[in-house]
Homo-oligomer: A and B are copies of this chain.
Amino acid sequence: MSAPVLALDVGGTKLAAALVGPQGGVHRRTEVPTPRGDEAQVWSAVVDLLDQVRRGAEIRGVGVGSGGPMEWPSGVVSPLNIAEWRDFPLRDALAQRFRGLPVRVHNDAVCVAIGEHWRGAGRGTADLLGMVVSTGVGGGLVLGGRVVNGATGNAGHIGHVVVEPDGPECVCGGQGCLEAVARGPAIAAWAVARGWREPGATARQLAEDARGGDPVAVQAFAHAGNALGVAIASAVQLCDVETVVVGGGVSLAGPLLFDPLDSAYRRHAGLKFARETRVTLAALGQDAGLVGAAALLLAEDHYWSG
């Protein structure tokens, strides 16, 4: 069967969709800002976007990566950054819209990990941790060539591995989580608290200033990179993955982030097998989530057991 999958990526800032071919090729990629309003308005924007991308094409099904939390595999979603959707039955609504076609919904960061495993920087490895460092810090695990769902479909939350037990409070309600230290806004806030620019300045501006040599900006990325190295060492020693793929906007800071990350990783990952693990940049960029969402329906169910 050579028909593509209609893939959808639901985020707090934007909605993206594309047709993804059986080999992972991305066609008709389109994105729109996520509307504000009520439940129906967001749903309506999703429907318009999918119609625009599909344009009558034959498809084999619909694959979706959505911001969490969600109930899995039922696909009832309550994306943290889309207040309009609380317990929104996304999978059922899509199944009704696309009668007779399979619809599968997973966590957006899990889809990024799947995309990188299937067609990106983790291709050919059986055991992988995929990470997205952006407004939040998310992730997904592929072990033994199959996606790990966990007891409730929530496996892969590398952002909530503890890196500073006495550190900042996290939005999850915990303390000292990786996300509380290394998400873009937290990195920028760390620098602002030390005299860099005014509150509201972004991690993107911080990266520019760090490249220009601003010492506080450089230290801020070093602080975040160190936290990432600690969390990755913990995850690799626990899960024995061969490859860690790091993507998301913050990862574009490059060596500013990855040099301190590598140094912390080497300091904390003492076990022999962990010293041979490869930590690398994501390869698919903005397409990873869509490719992974499509792979939920392709790839012989390696990525779906719901």
The count of chain A contact residues (Cβ–Cβ below 8 Å) is 53
Are A154's CB and B234's CB within 8 A? no
Provide the main secondary structure of the chain A interface. loop
Within 8 Å by CB of A127, from B151, B161, B172, lies B151
Residue A100 CB within 8 A of the other chain: no
Within 8 Å by CB of A273, from B143, B144, B151, B240, lies B151
Residue numbers in B under 8 Å from A69 (CB-CB): 271-273
Residue A170 CB within 8 A of the other chain: yes
Are B165's CB and A271's CB within 8 A? no
Q: A230–B177 Cα gap in the complex (Å)?
A: 10
Residue A152 CB within 8 A of the other chain: yes
Q: A237–B127 Cα gap in the complex (Å)?
A: 18
- Known A143-B155, A163-B162; contact A177-B270, beta-carbon cutoff 8 A: yes
> How far apart are A160's CB and chain B's nearest CB, in angstroms?
4
Within 8 Å by CB of A305, from B144, B153, B268, lies B144
Are A141's CB and B239's CB within 8 A? yes
Chain A 247-271, CB within 8 Å of chain B: the 1/0 string? 0000000000000000010011111
Q: A276–B10 Cα gap in the complex (Å)?
A: 27
Residue A9 CB within 8 A of the other chain: no
Residue numbers in B under 8 Å from A237 (CB-CB): 157, 160-161, 172, 174, 177
* Listed A/B pairs (27) with beta-carbon separation below 8 Å: A143-B150, A144-B148, A148-B239, A150-B239, A150-B240, A150-B241, A150-B273, A151-B240, A151-B241, A155-B240, A156-B240, A157-B237, A160-B233, A160-B238, A160-B270, A160-B274, A161-B234, A162-B234, A165-B230, A165-B268, A172-B237, A172-B271, A173-B270, A174-B233, A174-B268, A176-B268, A177-B237
